[in-house]
Amino acid sequence: MKFELIQLPYAPDALAPAISAETLSFHHGKHLAGYVNTLNSLIEGTEFADASLEEIVCKSEGALFNNAGQTLNHNLYFTQFAPNAGGAPTGKLLAAIEAKWGSFEAFQQEFLTACTTLFGSGWAWLAAKADGELVITKEPNGSNPVVHGLRPLMGIDVWEHAYYLSYQNRRADHIKDVWGIIDWSVVASRY
């Protein structure tokens, strides 16, 4: 198999309460594993057999696009977290956020709005243009900012499987708690 299920860099209960061990078990161990396995079966023997995830997302459609997109999205998602993280970014990333939104708090509010106003299932992303300007995008289903020529920096999964076991219909409460586990050094390294 070309693509493998990523190993989590933290214990299953390390992100609680924002992401419970039970949610992580289903989200990583079932949902992401399913996307990875399906992606591998769909690319076997095709022009995409040796392509990167980003290439597949940018050049495919249908089931292949959905499974490649969700694999890419979740790989970025699960690796941007750390226990006892949070706070605010520093350096160039913070300067770019402040230049775009005026303050980190204003950015957080706009990002929360993007998360809570995305109808149905999908992702909210902090992404960068080629010139370094930051943008917030709302991507339906399994899409990713790479399809718009952007570099994804931080994504929040707003599919119900990401939060429903602990938060039920309280998506905004989940997003507010996720700020406490964002590893800004990882996000900054993507910038």
For 98-154, the DSSP string reads HHHHSSHHHHHHHHHHHHHHS-SSEEEEEEE-TTS-EEEEEEETT--GGGGT-EEEE
Is 157 marked within a binding site? Answer: yes
Q: What is the location of CATH 1.10.287.990 in the chain? A: 21-78
Task: Flag whether pLDDT at 165 surpasses 70.
Answer: no
SS3 36: helix
Rounded mean pLDDT, 129-133:
97
Q: Is 161 assigned to a binding site? A: yes
The highest-level CATH class for domain 91-190 is: alpha beta
Q: Is 112 within 8 Å of 172 (Cβ atoms)?
A: yes
Q: In whole angstroms, what is the distance from residue 175 CA to residue 157 CA?
A: 9
Provide CATH 3.55.40.20 ranges for the chain.
91-190
Range scoring the smallest mean pLDDT among 103-117, 126-140, 168-182: 168-182
> Is 74 annotated to bind ligand?
yes
Confidence of residue 19 (pLDDT cuts 50, 70, 90): very high
pLDDT in tens, 65-107: 999 999 999 999 999 999 989 999 999 999 999 999 999 999 9
pTM of the model: 0.94
pLDDT at site 15: 96
Per-residue model confidence (pLDDT) at position 129: 98
In the numeric block, which tokens belong to residue 112?
């929360």
pLDDT on residue 56: 97
Which one is the CATH code of 21-78: 3.10.50.30, 1.10.287.990, 1.10.240.10, 1.10.8.50? 1.10.287.990
Whether 152 contacts 76, CB under 8 Å: yes
Residue 112 has a pLDDT of 95
Among residues 133, 125, 145, 137, the alpha carbon closest in space to that of 96 is found at 133
With a cut of 80, say whether residue 170 has pLDDT above it: no
pLDDT above 90 as % of the chain: 88
